[in-house]
Structure 1
Amino acid sequence: MAPHVSFTLLALAGLAAAKTCTNFTIPVSISARQGLFKTIPVESNLDITTFSQAFTNIGQNYTKELLQDYQTLNGDYKISAKFCHPSSGSDGSIIQVLTHGIGFDKTYWDLSFNDYNYSYVEAAVKAGYSTLAIDRLGIGNSSHGDPFNTIQASAEVQALNTITTKLRKGEISEISHSFDKVIHVGHSFGSVQSYWLSALYPDNTDGLVLTGWSTNGSYVPITVASLNMHSARLNQPLRFGNASNEGLLKSLGAYASGDALVRGVQSLLKSVGVDLSSQTVWEDIATTEVVDLINGYNKTVEALDYPSGYMTWSDLTANQYAFLLQGFYDVALGLVAESTKQPVTVGEWLTIGSAPSSSSFSGPVLVFTGDHDVPFCGGDCYATGGTADSIPALSAAAFPKTNSFEAYIQPNTAHGLNVHYNATAGYQYIQGWLGSHGLAA
């Protein structure tokens, strides 16, 4: 029988005693030079599909086609953050700043599933580090904005740089002191931004850990196509839109648990003469947008109210293609990822490839990517035709001044590194690598 209980996210229960954490928002003032794009229809799922078709067309540079001019974005925003440190002892002098990728928020780094066994923060804090995980500008509980001309990669990099400077100067009131060294750890788009920061401000980072990344962006189009992007507001109206939960809470009532929901759907089908097994019903609910339609009813207090132009992958099957390796992740955790996923903006897609071609950062760099990564390796990180040990290894060319570069390929892992069975082994490797490169806590 499939794990119906995952619908209720009961598996999220569990406490870890190794760390002390605080959630707060950080005010940031940013100035970012970025694109001024022509707006296009993005209201319906068909509109979003039309965008994806144009974006992935091999004969069309859609970013260039929509780009009208450049502008300087100036504004004050709030970045949602979670600060963690060892429960005993001081906060230390070294902090890891954690930046999530597309489809996630800051919880990606501290998954409470299975008693925090998948938590990167847990591993880092046990190694003696403090961590600051952020919701990128425009995402989660950070300030939202115009999905075309505000929430772009450049603005997010400037927000990340501002937060880094505040950490060095001790200007975050919820944290009692400054930090001598700041390590930037990213995943996917968060790695793009951490790399980008090192290119613009090489003296504002002391070490880079770029997970789920390489400099090869040629597989982004197939990733976008596989995600079958839909309007976020339509995909999960109870989380991403502005729909009220109250009526649905009352109507679902007894069907709050996964098993009860499956039985309820079975009963409804039987009333019209259709008899399906519980396994079939569960598969249909869990792996299609049916589960997205009801996601949030038992958790969401306030809808996030993303405007049109924020989009998300369609369902768990799309998530698996781009992020997960079948047989090497817990499907229950996959459903947690589906019910807590976050969207991406039009502006982010249009600017994801705009990072500088190289960085003058002279410190240590670790690129840590799953062997079956699709977005940055096309599904096989060793498929180089003999030109290099791996596709991520070719990224060394982007760091001509680094004192140490390593590309590590995590086995039996796809793009969503933190949700695979061997995630904790990867975390230990990263902490050990940091310690061996002058960045021990």
Structure 2
Amino acid sequence: MPPLASFTPLLLAGFAAARACTNVTIPVDISSRQGLFEEFPIEGNIDVAAFAQAFTQQGRNYTAMLLRDYQTLKGSYEISAKFCQPDSGSASTIQLLSHGIGFDKTYWDLPYNNYNYSYVDIAVKQGYSTLAIDRLGIGNSSHGDPLNTIQAQAEVEALNAITTLLRQGKVPGIDTSFNKVIHVGHSFGSVQSYWLSCLYPNNTDGLVLTGYSANGSYLPVTVAAWNLHSARLNQPLRFGNSSSEGVQKAFGSYGTGTALLSGIQSLLKNVTIQLSTNEIWNEVATTEVGDLINGYNQTIAPLDYPSGYIVQSDFTATQYVFLLPGRYDIGLGILGEMTKQPVATGEILTIGSSPMMSPFSGPVLVFTGENDQPFCGGDCLATGTSAPSIPAEGKKQFPSASVFEALIQPETAHGLNFHYNATAGYEAVQTWLAAQGLAAS
């Protein structure tokens, strides 16, 4: 096992060459026709567990049970994003990157090991500009009521608004208008990119749907495997609204940087039942002990998620849903747990509400790990049909696509960007885009 020191962010420093990046805030106005759900208890972890039990009960449509009416949500929101371009300047083609559940915009530009796992780095080296967003409701984008505001449809409308602003050259901080916008999603971000192509087929030039298939039957297993907890209780210093001042004072005698970690280490070393170094590492890194530590060193302003934002319980749940044992760097996996993001209850209730088919007539690539759990049940090749893979069955969603292709990344689970062979996948995506006439220009 890695040393406890690997739990700190100090080893994550690095740089990515040949690119220029800036953080931008994008104001969007949206109008979204979406569900109005009955309120239910969701304050504590027991409430969250009850929600997951109700949602995953066999033969029960909990979304339909809670739905009371429909509403038109109208509002102005802010989307946090990171814009990157080659040092030589921006091309007229941009990749608009939408993350999945459990992540934020950093999924596309992981700083770990000198940005060795960065999708953005590979795309920019091929001449593309990229815009990685925090989806509406998540990360540093505007939050909102997690049940009746932050729903899939509202996020699709925000994604469409950003796309239009990119084409018009009206994104604050970006002095370029883009002739072509390629939508690249991961997981729920792929669902939303697909959804956009259904409602606004003329507002995308190409789709790359990673960590995706048209098969939603594994969602209940995924929700159960997350062992969901209230986000503000799981990582109170990052997700809540409390100051870390008291924690800093309690562990201040251990110095700066790794103070809380050192304090927990000291406590565990002196418990009645003696723990080995490896056992201490497991206790800190793979359980909620680590989640209590997370954010202490990095959180400047808490994200202030209200009740109704929920998150996977710990690193073991993260591995089950996102990672293939033996095929990822444990340090990067821990970084994923340290920087994880929650999901809104409204998102879970509406994730399966997208249209059945898209009229989009451009090129579509589905790129999914062979051992993807949420969309393939852990084996994307076990179709039981004549289709070569479960993602390949998604072709029926795109009857008018000029090209539809499903690529399966071997020895990779749902969180593609966290696996050893991630960059080979990035290269395959860029090669495919160029073959479809969507090379950077």
Q: TM-score range by the shorter chain?
A: over 0.9
What is the DSSP-based 3-state SS (H/G/I as helix, E as strand, rest coil) of the residue aligned with 2:95?
strand
For structure 1, the 5+ residue unaligned runs are none
Corresponding residue for residue 5 of structure 1: 5
Corresponding residue for residue 60 of structure 1: 60
Which amino acid letter does the alignment assign opposite residue 129 of structure 1?
Y
What is the CA RMSD across the aligned residues, in angstroms? 1.3
Which amino acid letter does the alignment assign opposite residue 339 of structure 1?
M
TM-score with structure 2 length normalisation? 0.97
- Is residue 28 of structure 1 aligned with residue 33 of structure 2? no
- Give the 3 Å change call, closer, same or farther, for CA 17–31 of structure 1 in structure 2: same
- Is residue 194 of structure 1 aligned with residue 187 of structure 2? no
- Give the 3 Å change call, closer, same or farther, for CA 392–271 of structure 1 in structure 2: closer
- Give the 3 Å change call, closer, same or farther, for CA 168–252 of structure 1 in structure 2: same
- Give the 3 Å change call, closer, same or farther, for CA 277–183 of structure 1 in structure 2: same
Query: Which residues in structure 2 correspond to 1:129-278 (within 5 Å)?
Result: 129-253=128-252, 254=254, 264-265=263-264, 267-269=266-268, 271-278=270-277
**Does the 8 A contact of 2:247 with 2:260 survive in 1?**
no
Corresponding residue for residue 296 of structure 1: 295
- Give the 3 Å change call, closer, same or farther, for CA 177–296 of structure 1 in structure 2: same
Deviation, 1:265, is: 4.3
- Give the 3 Å change call, closer, same or farther, for CA 183–262 of structure 1 in structure 2: closer
Matched residues, percent identical?
67
Deviation, 1:274, is: 2.9
What is the DSSP-based 3-state SS (H/G/I as helix, E as strand, rest coil) of the residue aligned with 2:238?
coil
Residues 402-421 of structure 1: CA distance to partner in whole angstroms, max 9, x if unpaired? 01000000001000000001
TM-score with structure 1 length normalisation? 0.97
Query: Which residues in structure 2 correspond to 1:272-287 (within 5 Å)?
Result: 272-287=271-286
What is the DSSP-based 3-state SS (H/G/I as helix, E as strand, rest coil) of the residue aligned with 1:191?
helix
Which amino acid letter does the alignment assign opposite residue 285 of structure 1?
V
Distance 2:313 2:265 in 1: 24
Distance 1:388 1:17 in 2: 41
- Is residue 362 of structure 1 aligned with residue 353 of structure 2? no
What is the DSSP-based 3-state SS (H/G/I as helix, E as strand, rest coil) of the residue aligned with 2:239?
coil
Distance 1:387 1:345 in 2: 37
- Give the 3 Å change call, closer, same or farther, for CA 93–250 of structure 1 in structure 2: same
Distance 2:270 2:429 in 1: 55
Runs of 4+ with >6 A deviation: 260-263
Distance 2:25 2:187 in 1: 23
Deviation, 1:7, is: 1.8
Query: Which residues in structure 2 correspond to 1:359-398 (within 5 Å)?
Result: 359-398=358-397
Which amino acid letter does the alignment assign opposite residue 94 of structure 2?
I
Distance 2:91 2:2 in 1: 44
- Give the 3 Å change call, closer, same or farther, for CA 57–87 of structure 1 in structure 2: same
What is the DSSP-based 3-state SS (H/G/I as helix, E as strand, rest coil) of the residue aligned with 1:380?
coil
Deviation, 1:314, is: 0.1
Corresponding residue for residue 122 of structure 2: 123
Deviation, 1:11, is: 2.6
Q: Which moved more, 1:215-224 or 1:379-388?
A: 379-388
What is the DSSP-based 3-state SS (H/G/I as helix, E as strand, rest coil) of the residue aligned with 1:161?
helix
**Does the 8 A contact of 1:6 with 1:336 survive in 2?**
no
- The number of aligned residues is 439
What is the DSSP-based 3-state SS (H/G/I as helix, E as strand, rest coil) of the residue aligned with 1:407?
strand
Which amino acid letter does the alignment assign opposite residue 64 of structure 1?
A
